[in-house]
Amino acid sequence: MNTLELKNILISEIAKIDDESFLSALKTILDSRKPTPENYAEQYNEELKVAEQEIQNGNFYSHNEVKDKIEQWKKK
Q: Is residue 68 part of a domain?
A: no
**Structural domains of the chain, count:** 1
CA 24, 28, 33, 38 dihedral sign is positive
Res 35: pLDDT: 75
pLDDT at 37 over 80: no
Mean pLDDT of 6-34: 92
Q: Is residue 74 part of a domain?
A: no
Q: Are 69 and 21 in contact (CB under 8 A)?
A: yes
- Which of 27, 22, 32 lies closest to 66, judged by CA? 22
Q: Is residue 75 part of a domain?
A: no
Res 38: pLDDT: 80
pLDDT at 39 over 90: no
Domain range for 21: 3-59
pTM, to two decimals: 0.45
Q: Is residue 64 part of a domain?
A: no
Q: With bands split at pLDDT 50, 70 and 90, how would you rate the model's confidence at 45?
A: very high
Q: Is residue 28 part of a domain?
A: yes
Q: Is residue 27 part of a domain?
A: yes
